[in-house]
Amino acid sequence: MTTRDIIDAHHHLWSLEGNMYPWLQKPVQIGVGGNVDSIASDYLLSDYREDTKSYNLLASVHIEAHFDRRFPVDETAWLSQMAKESGGPAAIVGYAALEDPNVKEILERHLEHGDCFKGIRQILCNHENPEFCFVQRDDFMRDAQWRKGFGLLAELGLSFDLMVYPHQLPDAIDLAASFPETQIIINHGAMPHDRSKNGLAQWRADLVKLAGYENVSMKVSGLGQTDWNWTGQTIRPMIRDLIEIFGPKRAMFASNFPVDKAYSSFDVLFGAFEKAVEDLSKDEQDALFWGTANRVYRLNAAPA
C-alpha cells in the first residue's frame, strides 16, 4: 500500500442480476471506447476495494452507470443502502432526464436517499458517427425544457456531471455562463478523441474558454477511452494540459473503473497520474488526488 491519499472522483458499480444495465450485454460498445466485453460482469464494492487496495482511499464518488432509464432512482436506492451497510461509496451522482417535465419529482426522490446524493449526470455525447453516439439529439444544452430542468439543480443544491465530446464544448460554455450557481464537472477531459494537431488545438482553445467560468471543474479521467493502448508518455501531455487550463484546485483525478479497467489496472493508472505530476508541489498534488473532489462533492473526507 502506498501512502498516497486519494478520493476517486468517478467510478461505477454494477450487478447484472435482473438486466438493469442493458448496455452491458455482449458485445459491449462504449462510443469511442470501442468494444469492452471484459467489463460485462458484476463489479461490486468488494471488487472495487480489491482494485484500490494499494492506495489510501479516503472516499469515492459513484457516477450513474446507465442503469435502466425507466427506473432512475432504483440505482440510487441500491447504492445508498450499500453505503449504510458497507461504508461506501461516500457520494452518489444519479441520473435524471432533465428534459422531463416531471424531473423535479425525480430529483426529490433521489434526495430522499440522504446526504450522500450529490448530483446528476446525464450523458450528452452526440456524434455524426453513430458508433460514437450515446444520445441521438445534439441540442439538449440549447433546449428550453432541458434548461428549465437544469435550473432546478442549484435550487436543490445539486451539481451536474457533464459528459460531452469536444465539438459540444461551445454549448457547455454557454451553459456554464447561463447557470453560474450550478457546479458543473466535466467528465473524462471532454473525451478528446481527435488527436490530430488541429483537433487538439481546438479542444484546448474551447477548454480555456470554459475554464473562465469558476463554476466548472474538470475530471482528469477516462483517457483510456480515447487512447486504448495508452502509456504514461502518451497521456501525460493531456494530463498536463487539463491541469494547466483548470488549475489543480479545479481539476481532479479519477479512475472511471471498471470501464477503464479494460485498458489498465488501477495501480498502473494512478501510477501514471503520480508520475505526470511528480514535479508539482505537495499542495497541488493533494488538490488533484483528493482536495478538489472533496470540495466539489462536499465530502468532508480530508486525511486525519
Specify the pLDDT at position 26. Answer: 79
Identify the band that residue 18 occupies on the pLDDT scale cut at 50, 70 and 90.
Answer: confident
In a domain, 303, yes or no: no
188 in any annotated domain: yes
Read off the pLDDT of residues 219-235 as tens digits, 9 standing for 90 and up. Answer: 999 998 888 899 999 99
302 lies in some domain? no
Residues spanned by the domain of 42:
5-296
Residue 123, in any domain of the structure:
yes
Residue 22 falls inside a structural domain: yes
Question: In the structure, what pLDDT confidence band is assigned to residue 30 with cuts at 50, 70 and 90?
Answer: confident
In a domain, 68, yes or no: yes
Determine, yes or no, domain membership for 304: no
Helix pair angle (169-178, 144-155), 10° resolution? 50
Number of domains the chain contains = 1
CATH of the domain at 59: 3.20.20.140
Average pLDDT (261-290) is 98
Q: What is the pLDDT of residue 118?
A: 99
Residue 288 in any domain: the answer is yes
Question: Which pLDDT tens digit goes with each residue over 85-130?
Answer: 999 999 999 999 999 999 999 999 999 999 999 999 999 999 998 8
pLDDT of 1 over the 70 cut? no
Q: Which residue has the higher pLDDT, 225 or 163?
A: 163
103-111 and 72-86 are packed helices; what angle lies between their axes, rounded to 10 degrees?
Answer: 10
User: What pTM was computed for the model?
Assistant: 0.96
